[in-house]
Structures are given as C-alpha cells and as structure tokens.
Amino acid sequence: MAGTQGEKGKATAAEAMGSEPSIEERLKGLKLMGEEEKELDFFEEIEDLVKEARWMVLFRVETTKPFSHAALLNAMRTAWAAAKTVTFKVKADNLFLAHFHWPGDWLRVMEGGPWLSRGAPVVMAEYDGLSNIHEYKLNKIPVWTRIQGIPEALMKKKEIAEKIARKVGEPPITVIANEGKINPTPYLRARVFLDLEKPLVRMVPITLKEKMKCLVQYEKLPMFCSVCGIVGHEMTECGDGTHEASKCEWGDWLLVNFSTSIYGRGAGRGGGTRDGTANRGRGRGRRANNTSEEDYTDESNGEYDELQKSIVVQRKRTGRGDNTVADPTDVGATSSAGVVAGTVMLLEKNNSTQELSPQNTQEKKRQKKQVGAPDPAIFADVQRKVTDENE
C-alpha cells in the first residue's frame, strides 16, 4: 500500500513538473516593478557594437551520432590553422560560436570548406553578435562542383554559366569562366551552396539542338546517403538501414576522382573516396598516376646498365662534372635532364645500328658472365707444356 502511494506521489510530481510554464512564459506574465520598468536603449550604439562583434561564426555538425565537444573544437582549431588565436564557446548541445581575431583567418575559413568532422559536414554561418542564435537556420554548406559535358558556347558567358550552376545549388555562386573565351577544362567548375535538406543533384538537363544530360560531380563532398541522396548520413543510417543495391541511385560516381586528373596531378587537399581511403597530397609527373618504378627502369635486358655506363664514360672523357657534357646537343643543362637526354640519344643510336632481340640480350648476358675466363686455346697450350715437362 505504501508503495502504491509513493508511486502516485511521484506521478503527481512529474505531472506538476510537466505543467510548469517555461522561463519565457514566466517573464511575459510578470508584473514589472522598479528598475524592471525602465528599458535600456542601445539603438545609437548598434553600429559600434556590430564593429566590435565582427569575425564571428556560428557552426554545428550535421550528424545524428554523439560526439565530444572538446574533440570537435580541437579538430577545428587544427583544420583551420589560424595565424592568431581563435576563441570558442559552446552555445548549445550542437551549436558553437567561434571568434577570430584576424580578418585573414576568418575570410579563409568562410571561403574554404566544406569543413568536416569525422566525415560529417560542419555547417557555418556568419554571426553579427546581436541576433538570437536560435533563429539561425544552419542548413547549407559550400561545395565546388564540376558539371561535365557543357557545350563550349555556354561556358564562354559568365551569366549563362551561373544559370547552369543554379540548377546544382543555391547562391552565392562562383563560376570559373573566361568571358568570351573557351574554357581550358572539359567541365564547368562552380562553387555553390548545397541545401542539406534536399537530395544531391546528379545531372543538369539542357536543350539546344537536341536534349542532353550533363553529369554533376562534387569535390570534397562529405558523407551522403546512396538511397535518398541527402548529405550528412550514410545508407546504413537511413530508415531501417537495410536497402537493396538496385535502389541506390546515388554513389561514388558523383565524386571527383583526383587521381585521374587530365593534368596529371595527384589528389587535392582533402580528396578521398567513399570507402575512407584518402588520395591526399599533390603530385606531378610519373608519381601522380601511381605508376610504379618498374615502368621507367627496365633492367631485365641489361641495356639500361650499358646506357648508364656509356654516359659516365662520356662525361669522364669531357672532363666535366655530373651536370654538363661537352656536346650541348647530347645532354641538357641539369643533371636529371642530362641523364634523360643522353639516354634517349644513345637509345636512338643503338636502335639505328642494331635492333636488340631477346636472343641478342641473352647473348650479352652470357658474355658478361664469361668476362675474365681464360681463352680455350691458351688453356690447351699451357696444359700441353705441363704434360711435356712431366714426361
């Protein structure tokens, strides 16, 4: 009986707590007295207050997973790499304020991005220091896109290029277009703001003489769902987490593959793949395309060694250092260029006189192994003399 009464008491207390008015409701119903009746008017000081409250950013993480506030702020401090101190303040469970103390840091962070925290996008907005922080709708992130297959005539005019980019995202929009000139890249590159509540745009339909569909690809895109196309969660977090592959209409084909750039560069900063493997750093030449060393130094036939020896002998004859050769037509000015040029010229001379075949290659190797072996005729003569002496 006592237990039943205790439970009733707890239920009554809980109901009383649930029916209590909020702080805002309490303040509205108060009867003002004394100093409470006199309002403070800062209208004349607004301009000065706004100037003092500049370079501030409100941000949150678009994720449903729990995270550590300290880990997030440390990750942002490291990623932003500000020249001067950045002051952070936790405003709510998933709402933060950052105050930059130098305009260069603030501008670089606002124009950069998208910034990520454990694969989830960090949504940011400029804050004036006066408005109610809960009135800010943080739901857009900046992303660089590449719209493939746009006809050259449409990319020559900035106005038309911006109209095409608006099909992918929202303003402010930045397009890379040479007014009145052809675009040096095979795609239209544009920076747009993606609405995190809308699915990713996969193609832009255009009608000229005929209908065409232009693929849209994204650079440094955060995690997105392959089922609904929304940025901020993965397929396993969508619905019950169980989906058929045939229903996945978004995929990695929407991501820019930096390792196959037409200019031979490696991945840009922050590049990666959906499986978590990153293509980071920059590269040029043979290393940019992940080409192995064997593609450039084939020593299986011994010809590479012969060419290197010939170059060394030629340099010793000229009496010069490693960087130059007497004949300017043989080798370039630098050491690396000289080796390449000399190798190419020797290859050309060798090919013009005699074409190497596998049989010739094996014969050369056999001759190398026999270097230093006595001549058979001399060996027979010596053996004969020894036999005569013994007799």
Is the pLDDT at 142 greater than 80? The verdict is: yes
Which helix (H) or strand (E) segment is 305 a member of?
helix 303-318
pLDDT at 45: 65
pLDDT at 20: 76
Contacts of 374 (CB under 8 A, 6+ apart): none
How far from chain centre, in Å, is Cα 132? Answer: 35
Confidence of residue 329 (pLDDT cuts 50, 70, 90): very low
For residues 22-51, give the mean pLDDT. 71
Rounded to the nearest integer, the mean pLDDT of the chain is 74
Is pLDDT larger for residue 153 or for residue 296? 153
Query: Is the backbone of residue 99 left (phi > 0), alpha (psi -120 to 50) or beta?
Result: beta
Is pLDDT larger for residue 205 or for residue 336? 205
For residues 195-201, give the mean pLDDT. 95
For residues 189-196, give the mean pLDDT. 96
Q: Helix, strand, coil: what percent of the chain each, to 5?
A: 40, 20, 40
Q: What is the DSSP string of 253-303?
A: GGB--GGG-TT-----TT-B-TTS-B--S---GGGGGT--GGGT---TTSH
CATH fold for domain 51-135: Alpha-Beta Plaits (3.30.70)
pLDDT tens digits, 115-140: 999 889 999 999 988 888 888 989 99
Alpha-carbon Rg for the chain in angstroms:
36
Is the pLDDT at 379 greater than 60? The verdict is: yes
pLDDT at 105: 94
Is the pLDDT at 286 greater than 50? The verdict is: no
pLDDT tens digits, 46-77: 666 666 678 899 999 999 889 999 999 999 99
Which helix (H) or strand (E) segment is 64 a member of?
none
pTM over 0.75: no
Is pLDDT larger for residue 13 or for residue 40? 40
Per the CB < 8 A criterion, the answer to whether 140 and 195 are in contact is: yes
Least confident of 30-39, 148-157, 165-174, 327-336: 327-336
Confidence of residue 161 (pLDDT cuts 50, 70, 90): very high
Bridge partners of 95, per DSSP, are 92
- How many CA atoms are closer than 13 Å to the CA of 259, on its beta-carbon side? 10
Is pLDDT larger for residue 323 or for residue 217? 217
Is the pLDDT at 91 greater than 80? The verdict is: yes
Least confident of 89-93, 209-213, 313-317: 313-317
Is the pLDDT at 17 greater than 70? The verdict is: no
pLDDT at 98: 95
Is pLDDT larger for residue 45 or for residue 184? 184
Query: Is the backbone of residue 203 left (phi > 0), alpha (psi -120 to 50) or beta?
Result: beta
| Amino acid at residue number 60 | R
pLDDT at 184: 86
End-to-end CA distance of the chain: give it in Å, rounded: 133
Q: Give the number of other Cβ atoms within 10 Å of residue 145's Cβ.
A: 25
- With CA atoms as reference, report the closest residue to 72 among 112, 120, 137: 120
Helices (H) and strands (E) in the chain, counts: 11, 10
SS3 (DSSP) at 174: strand
Q: Round to whole Å and give the CA distance between 211 and 359.
A: 59
Sheet (strand 120-127) strand order: 86-92, 95-100, 56-61, 120-127, 115-117
Is the pLDDT at 317 greater than 90? The verdict is: no
In three-state form (DSSP H/G/I as H, E/B as E, the rest C), the secondary structure along 203-259 is: EEEEECCCEEEEEEEECCCCCECCCCCCECCCHHHCCCCCCCHHHCCCCHHHECCHH
The token duo for 106 is: 């603030």
pLDDT at 376: 64
pLDDT at 26: 75
pLDDT at 249: 94
The top-scoring range by mean pLDDT among 4-13, 34-43, 329-338 is: 34-43
Residues in the chain, overall count: 391
Per the CB < 8 A criterion, the answer to whether 77 and 157 are in contact is: no
Is the pLDDT at 299 greater than 60? The verdict is: no
pLDDT tens digits, 224-278: 999 999 999 999 899 888 888 888 999 999 999 887 555 444 444 344 344 434 4
Least confident of 54-58, 75-79, 202-206, 355-359: 355-359
Is the pLDDT at 280 greater than 60? The verdict is: no
Q: Domain residue spans in the chain?
A: 51-135, 140-256, 303-368
